[in-house]
């Protein structure tokens, strides 16, 4: 596997490997997103059985405006998968529909920041409420992806100190822009860059963010442009990176659904060209109209809750190796990212242990069609 020991040398595009997690990271114990949404689907199935219904319609899940969160597609996709697995049909003309909201709250019992996902089942014909159910997600990587968070969280093993950092990071995001590099702070070793260009073009150029608003970075990508995501790891240890686009995992269309992370070696960077399909191919990231987007291929409803790229970073080390010394061991046009043509990749599989969540970096790609800050090639 190619790697670089110097941060000043740009490695080849595919200096990435796929992580096969062999242990549960400290931040992943408890209410992880996929597990909680599967339980959510189970509760809806019980409700449908009581109503003598075998189908349900899926409507939107919204978030508070101050979060500018963009995860409705991921929530609906996970819910749809759980329902279909239980034999429930997802149909727009079903008598019952489920909609809801998601927001950051503090669990009063555990004294932890969680994302509460509240679902409401209503009768489409009469508007009559039928029932409500909720789940709470406390996996920090899932929380960051759901909220589109940009924050640094030191791997401090003291729960109270770490929780304070999480709460402050969500409420007061800290996107830092240095040229085309977007990070959670000026000293953070973790960052992303977005490279853009014409859909059929071979030359992509790094694009600078246009602004930071309420602590979050914004960047313009035109309709029918393609983009790639460069993951930057300047830390002295390997990083496991979880990547979501428009609320969907990088592996949403993978031939191997068990994958969760990519590994970026220490002091290096790697470029993600598109939706992962297999070790030797990916589908290009294309900004397109909703009907052609990745979300639409999963029978999800159109939503303005699209347009966020989030990368979450944690330390990674070989199964028989040692963790880093500081690792605590306890009116708008609806657009989205579509699935473009196949491109060749060169991923390989490795086994790694992963540590605590350390940082997340999000960029919101906006709907304007006149990006003015392209850099020269």
Tell me the average pLDDT across 91-119.
90
What pLDDT is recorded for position 259?
A: 81
The per-residue pLDDT for 373 is: 45
In contact, 27 and 140? CB cutoff 8 Å: yes
Strand pairing category for 112-123 and 335-344: unpaired
Instruction: Give residue 192's pLDDT.
Output: 97
DSSP for 119-177 reads EEEEETTT--EEEEEEEEE--HHHHHHHHT--EE----S-HHHHHHHHHHHHHS---EE
Least reliable range by pLDDT among 270-274, 301-305, 356-360: 301-305
Give the mean model confidence (pLDDT) for residues 290-304.
49
The span from the CA of 23 to the CA of 60, in Å, is: 34
Predicted confidence at residue 42, as pLDDT, reads 94
> Mean per-residue pLDDT for 19-41?
63
* % of the chain beyond a pLDDT of 90: 37
Is the confidence at residue 28, as pLDDT, over 50?
Answer: no
| Neighbouring-strand partners of residue 57 | 97
The β-bridge relationship of strands 349-366 and 216-220 is parallel
Tokens, residue 178:
């240095």
- Statement: residue 368 has pLDDT above 70: no
Q: What are phi and psi for residue 142, nearest 5 degrees?
A: -65, -40
Domains of the chain as residue ranges with CATH: 17-26+150-366 (no CATH), 33-137 (3.40.50)
Q: Taking 70 as the threshold, does the pLDDT of residue 154 lie above it?
A: yes
Q: What is the pTM of this model?
A: 0.80
Please give the pLDDT value at position 319. 79
Highest mean pLDDT among 180-194, 252-266, 285-299: 180-194
Q: Which of 224-238, 242-256, 303-317 has the highest mean pLDDT?
A: 224-238
Exposure of 49 in the CB half-sphere (CA atoms within 13 A): 9
CA distance 121 to 134: 11
Q: How confident is residue 69, by pLDDT bands cut at 50, 70 and 90?
A: low
At residue 376 the predicted structure's pLDDT band, cuts being 50, 70 and 90, is very low
Token representation of residue 177: 């822009």
Number of helical (H) and strand (E) elements in the chain, helices listed first: 4, 23
Helices within the chain (DSSP H only): 33-50, 72-85, 140-147, 159-171
How far apart (Å, rounded) are the C-alpha atoms in residues 39 and 216? 32
CA distances from 375 to 186, 319, 329 (A): 21, 41, 42
- Per-residue pLDDT of 300-333, as tens digits, reads 444 444 588 999 999 988 878 888 888 865 434 4
Give the chain's mean pLDDT: 80
**pLDDT confidence band for 124 (50 / 70 / 90):** very high
Return the pLDDT at 328: 60
Least-confidence region, from 175-189, 300-314, 344-358 = 300-314
Question: 337 — phi, psi (to 5°)?
Answer: -90, 125
Confidence of residue 43 (pLDDT cuts 50, 70, 90): very high
Backbone angles phi, psi at 45, to 5 degrees: -60, -40
Give the per-residue pLDDT at 120.
Answer: 95
- So what's the pLDDT on residue 46? 94
Q: What is the pLDDT of residue 40?
A: 93
Q: Name the most confidently modeled range: 64-78, 86-100, 138-152.
A: 86-100
């Amino acid at each position: 596997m190619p790697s670089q020991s110097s941060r000043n040398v740009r490695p080849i595009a595919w200096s990435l490997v796929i992580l096969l997690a062999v242990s549960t990271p400290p931040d992943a114990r408890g209410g992880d997103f996929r597990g909680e949404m599967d339980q959510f689907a189970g509760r809806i199935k019980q409700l449908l059985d009581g109503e003598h219904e075998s189908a349900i319609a899926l409507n939107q899940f919204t978030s508070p405006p101050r979060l500018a969160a963009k995860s409705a597609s991921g929530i609906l996709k996970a819910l749809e998968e759980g329902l279909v697995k239980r034999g429930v049909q997802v149909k727009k003309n079903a008598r019952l529909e489920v909609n809801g909201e998601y927001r950051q709250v503090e669990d009063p019992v555990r004294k932890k920041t969680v994302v509460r996902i509240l679902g409401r089942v209503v009768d489409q014909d009469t508007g009559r409420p039928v029932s409500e159910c909720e789940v709470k997600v406390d996996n920090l990587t899932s929380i960051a992806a759901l909220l589109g968070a940009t924050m640094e969280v030191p791997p401090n093993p003291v729960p109270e100190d770490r929780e304070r950092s999480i709460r402050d990071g969500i409420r007061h995001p800290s996107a830092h822009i240095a040229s085309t590099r977007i990070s959670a702070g000026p000293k953070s070793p973790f960052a992303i860059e977005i490279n853009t260009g014409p859909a059929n073009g071979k030359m992509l150029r790094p694009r600078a963010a246009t602004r930071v608003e309420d602590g979050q970075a914004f960047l313009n990508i035109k309709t029918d442009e393609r983009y790639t995501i460069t993951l930057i790891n300047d830390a002295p240890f390997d990083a496991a990176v979880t990547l979501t686009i428009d609320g969907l995992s990088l592996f949403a269309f993978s031939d191997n659904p068990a994958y969760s992370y990519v590994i970026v070696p220490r002091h290096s960077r790697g470029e993600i060209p598109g939706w992962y399909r297999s070790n030797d191919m990916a589908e290009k990231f294309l900004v397109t109209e909703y009907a052609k987007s990745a979300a639409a291929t999963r029978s999800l409803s159109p939503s303005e809750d699209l347009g966020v790229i989030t990368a979450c970073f944690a330390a990674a080390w070989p199964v028989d190796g040692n963790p880093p010394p500081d690792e605590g061991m306890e009116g708008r046009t609806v657009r989205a990212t579509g699935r473009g043509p196949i491109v060749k990749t060169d991923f390989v599989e490795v086994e790694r242990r992963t540590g605590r969540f350390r940082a997340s970096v999000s960029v919101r790609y906006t709907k304007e069609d006149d990006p003015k800050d392209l850099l020269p090639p």
